[in-house]
């Protein structure tokens, strides 16, 4: 691993049982990662590394904000992030990811770069559906979205006036009648 990285944790050289690391990450953190879907954000990361008899336990605590596209209007929106995670690191013969929270490293590596792990904890904290609060979506895109809706069901995220103006599609009216019969 690259020892010059500011996210490198020197595990084999740890002198004390518990060490704490703090990072303030910003846009440059996300931009420096290849294949990262999140490109902007700001967060505080607190990392506690505990030395156990046969492993190291890394506890992450992350609070901040990332900017991701709204699922509805595609404009960037602020998404608050607050998450905690744990990573267990053990030394072995070769680098192996046993499961999502346990990694084996070769002894020669002497430590781990946690930059990608921090990113993964942030990415996993983002809800599956992320939309602007009501009334904050791009109005032009919201109008286009409303014009192509054919389900006939109301979208609670659109203003009531947009829902009332939406014409009914006769192809779905018969199916709607079946839905109401029970």
The mean-pLDDT minimum among 28-37, 49-58, 85-94, 157-166 falls in: 157-166
Q: How confident is the model at residue 181 (pLDDT cuts 50, 70, 90)?
A: low
Predicted local confidence at residue 3, as pLDDT = 44
Q: Of all helices (H) and strands (E), which one includes residue 90?
A: strand 76-92
Predicted local confidence at residue 106, as pLDDT = 87
165/94: higher pLDDT = 94
Q: Where are the domains of the chain?
A: 8-124, 139-180
Calculate the average pLDDT of the chain.
83
Percent of the chain with pLDDT over 90: 37
158/53: higher pLDDT = 53
Q: How confident is the model at residue 1 (pLDDT cuts 50, 70, 90)?
A: very low
Residue closest to 60 by CA, chosen among 89, 95, 35: 89
Q: Tell me: the pLDDT tens digits for 155-169?
A: 555 555 544 556 777
Residue 12 pLDDT > 90: no
Residue 175 pLDDT > 70: yes
Residue 81 pLDDT > 90: yes
Q: How far is Cα 88 from Cα 85, in angstroms, rounded to an integer?
A: 10
Q: Can you tell me whether residue 143 is helix, strand or coil?
A: helix
Q: Is 47 exposed, middle or buried (0-12, 13-18, 19+ CB in 10 A)?
A: buried
């Amino acid at each position: 691993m690259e020892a010059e990285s500011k996210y490198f944790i020197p595990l084999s050289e740890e002198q004390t049982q518990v060490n704490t690391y703090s990072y303030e990450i910003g846009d440059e953190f996300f931009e420096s990662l290849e294949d990262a879907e999140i490109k902007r954000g700001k967060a505080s990361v607190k990392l506690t590394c505990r030395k156990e008899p046969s492993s190291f336990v890394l506890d992450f605590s992350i609070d901040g904000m990332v900017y991701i596209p709204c699922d509805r209007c595609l404009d960037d929106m602020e998404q608050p992030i607050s998450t905690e995670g744990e990573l267990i690191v053990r030394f072995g013969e070769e680098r192996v990811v046993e499961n999502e929270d346990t990694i084996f490293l070769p002894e020669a590596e002497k430590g781990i770069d946690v930059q990608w792990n921090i990113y993964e904890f942030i990415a996993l904290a983002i809800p599956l559906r992320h939309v602007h609060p009501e009334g904050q979506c791009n109005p032009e895109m919201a109008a286009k979205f409303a014009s192509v809706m054919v389900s006939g069901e109301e979208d609670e995220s659109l203003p009531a006036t947009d829902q009332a103006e939406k014409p009914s599609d006769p192809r779905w009216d018969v199916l709607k009648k079946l839905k109401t019969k029970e």
